[in-house]
Amino acid sequence: MQYDMMNKAVAIARLTRIEHSLMLVIAVVAAELISGGIPAMPILALSIITPIFVSMGSFAINDYFDVHTDRENKRKERPLVSGAIKEREAFAIAMGCFAIGCAASAFINPLAFVIALAFSVLAFLYSYRMKNMLLIGNVYIAFSMVIPFLYGNSITASSLNINILLISFTVFLSGLAREIHGMIRDQKGDLKVRKARNLIFHIGRERSAWFAFTLYMEAIAVSVFMFFFMAPFAYNVVYMAPIAAVDIALFFIALGYVRGWYNDGFFRLSRNLSLGAMAVAILIYLASALVYIAI
- HSE, CB side, 13 Å, CA atoms: give it for residue 259: 9
Taking the alpha carbons of 201, 206, 207, 212 in that order, is the dihedral positive or negative? positive
Total-model pTM: 0.89
For the cut 90, the answer to whether the pLDDT of residue 200 exceeds it is no
Higher pLDDT, 275 or 163: 163
- HSE, CB side, 13 Å, CA atoms: give it for residue 286: 18
Q: What is the pLDDT of residue 81?
A: 86
Distance from C-alpha of 159 to C-alpha of 171, rounded to nearest angstrom? 20
For the cut 80, the answer to whether the pLDDT of residue 70 exceeds it is no
55 within 8 A of 47, measured Cβ to Cβ: no
Q: What is the pLDDT of residue 188?
A: 64
Which residues make Cβ contacts (< 8 Å) with residue 115, sequence separation at least 6? Answer: 105, 147, 150, 151, 154
For the cut 60, the answer to whether the pLDDT of residue 191 exceeds it is no
Q: Which domains does the chain have, with CATH numbers?
A: 1-129 (1.10.357.140), 161-295 (1.20.120)
Whole-number Cα distances in Å, 294 to 88, 229, 234, 235, 246: 55, 13, 8, 6, 20
Rg (CA), the chain: 20
Which residues share a beta bridge with 236? Answer: 294
Q: What is the pLDDT of residue 5?
A: 65
Q: What is the pLDDT of residue 97?
A: 97
pLDDT in tens, 219-229: 999 999 999 99
Higher pLDDT, 135 or 51: 51
- HSE, CB side, 13 Å, CA atoms: give it for residue 181: 36
Higher pLDDT, 78 or 154: 154
Map residue 294 onto helix, strand or coil: strand
Higher pLDDT, 265 or 189: 265
Average pLDDT of the segment spanning 251-257: 96
Higher pLDDT, 239 or 81: 239
DSSP letters, 60-119, are HHHHHHTHHHHHHTT-TTSHHHHTSS-HHHHHHHHHHHHHHHHHHHHTT-HHHHHHHHHH
> What is the pLDDT of the chain when averaged over all its residues?
90
Type of residue found at 33: L
For the cut 90, the answer to whether the pLDDT of residue 119 exceeds it is yes
For the cut 70, the answer to whether the pLDDT of residue 145 exceeds it is yes
239 within 8 A of 227, measured Cβ to Cβ: yes
Helix (H) or strand (E) run with residue 295 in it? none
Share of the chain above pLDDT 90, in %: 66
For the cut 80, the answer to whether the pLDDT of residue 6 exceeds it is no
DSSP letters, 216-239, are HHHHHHHHHHHHHHSTTTTTBHHH
Exposed e or buried b for every residue in 105-115, given b needs 16+ CB within 10 A? bbebeebbbeb
